[in-house]
Structure 1
Amino acid sequence: MNSTVNPASAHTFGGNAAGRERKQAVDEILAAHLQRTSPEPQTARRHQAFDDQGAFLYLEDFLPREFTEKLVEAVHAVTPAINRNYLPGHKQGGSVSRHAIDELAPFIAELYRSPVLIRWLEKISGDTLQESPADDPHAYALYFYTKAGDHIGWHYDTSYYDGRRYTLLLGVMDDSSCRLEYELHTRTPEIADQPGSVQIPPGGLVFFDGDKLRHRITPARANEFRVSLTFEYVTNPNMRPWQRFVSNMKDSIAYFGFGQVFRRKGGKNGAA
């Protein structure tokens, strides 16, 4: 599926909102967009669908076009910070953590923290959501499938926090055959597992409880290109020291490298 966004044509966000803070512009545009595309009755139906599918929702079209354009700009901005990783039998690809994103593509942090977005996700999930702590490199991250064989095997987005962790997966660019394959209800013995598969277009959305959805990304072929963005929100930001150690080691080895995970400790993490 080819991306419909032309990076060269992406305009400077907020250029017509003279004198406004970029964060305010993000909320204004997103609020108007959701009012058109997801009014209250529609949002209520999507919440019911989310529950019926065991905490999972897929929308082919979610983001305003100008936001998708800004995310494409962000992809180009963070390219020098991509960390390639390979775990035999499990995953291969490139990743950029929130710490590098804060420095190189701050629009992503502004969207992540948008009260309008968080309130809408709360209506879908039925939970009160909080941002991940400032030292969590997974809070928002970009994932690159750009070489033959790039993929991630079957897994859950396991929460190391005391509460639940929700994943918001946004399509950014896609000129690939990669698919998100998933199984619903695997944690509910009385309901049969339900397999599914989607190819998330630019601006599309998948939202799910990370501990409930078993999923994978199928391997990219030669000369294919896919980039996705994830946001992680939690119901309780507390994490025990041992769990934090395990989480940091996993992120260092499997995703971002030790430099991106540990270099920002004590710094200005999370500055939007």
Structure 2
Amino acid sequence: MESVALDNSQVTGSQRATPDADRAVASRTHGFDNARLRKDFADQGAFLYLDDFLAPEVTAQLVASARGLLDEVNRNYLPGHKQGGSVSRHTIDRLAPFIAELYRSKELIGWLEQLSGDQLMVSPADDPHAYALYYYTRPGDHIGWHYDTSYYDGRRYTLLLGVIDESTCRLDYELHTRDDSKPDLPGSVQIPPGGLVFFDGDKLRHRISPMGENEMRVSLTFEYVTDSNMRPWKRFISNMKDAIAYFGFRQVFRQLMRRSGDAA
């Protein structure tokens, strides 16, 4: 993989033309053996890892965005479960619109539909997890074992993209934990900038191992759904989880009140 320079003089948004998201995705996916990747995804219980997915210019743009949003990071600490920071799609919409463009790329969604066999939809506008950046910047930053549980009526797929990895952190995972016909299969990967992990959030048990001294890791997640409906009580649970564990009450509920005002 082509290395991406991370010094500030090379990653400022004003010094680089924004890539065309659809064209950049197509330049990669049209050269893949998609039939084989679809089989790998199915055989691994709705999981796929590629260490070299994004076009170099897209990776560079994401690095620029991640570094530019450092002052916007909301940090959380839940004893025994997670420590780290995050930036929600609402902040990204204001300050890093290329990420939103990439999230909605028809080429990207179409390719993911080939892998999953499902018709995928973008998450609703009030979902702060639709696309979000996750920052591991202090010793001990991590997230414990969990599933990306869907509160929607349908399935929710997670696309995890490597952005910055100056760390020893790894994505540890277990395949087939909810398939009684197959034994659990553990695995572990260190996702480089431009790498990809795609999985059904309700099927993959996974964690991010703790950060060491003087390290930094930033990842970007996209969430796609097969049904955008969410029951009111599940919406309340989802909002509370997002406010406490990820983005803060101000970020989550200010956006909800703003959207309610707009609707009125």
Fold match, TM over 0.5? yes
The superposition leaves residues 184-218 of structure 1 with CA deviations (integer Å, 9 ceiling, x where unpaired) of 00000110000000000000000000000000000
Give the counterpart of 2:247 among 248, 253, 256: 256
> SS of the counterpart of 2:21?
helix
Distance of 2:208 and 2:53 partners within structure 1? 20
Structure 1 residue aligned with 2:10 = 9
> SS of the counterpart of 2:159?
strand
Paired amino acid for 1:59? L
Residues 164 and 236, structure 1, Cα contact 8 Å, conserved in 2: yes
Residues 163 and 218, structure 2, Cα contact 8 Å, conserved in 1: yes
Residue 80 of structure 2 corresponds to residue 110 of structure 1: no
Give the counterpart of 2:56 among 61, 65, 83: 65
The superposition leaves residues 82-111 of structure 1 with CA deviations (integer Å, 9 ceiling, x where unpaired) of 000000000000010000111111110000
Q: Give TM-score, length-normalised by structure 2.
A: 0.93
Stretches of structure 1 that go unaligned for 5 or more consecutive residues are 15-21
Structure 2 residue aligned with 1:182 = 173
> SS of the counterpart of 2:127?
coil
Distance of 2:129 and 2:21 partners within structure 1? 22
Give the counterpart of 1:213 among 174, 187, 204: 204
Paired amino acid for 2:116? S
Length, aligned pairs only = 254
Cα RMSD after superposing both structures: 1.5
Paired amino acid for 1:5? A
Structure 1 position 268, deviation (Å): 7.1
Residue 32 of structure 2 corresponds to residue 31 of structure 1: no
Structure 2 residue aligned with 1:153 = 144
Distance of 1:82 and 1:237 partners within structure 2? 27
Q: Give TM-score, length-normalised by structure 1.
A: 0.90
> SS of the counterpart of 2:30?
helix
Which consecutive aligned stretches of 4+ in structure 1 deviate over 4 angstroms post-superposition?
266-269
Identity %: 66
Stretches of structure 2 that go unaligned for 5 or more consecutive residues are none
Residues 5 and 68, structure 1, Cα contact 8 Å, conserved in 2: no
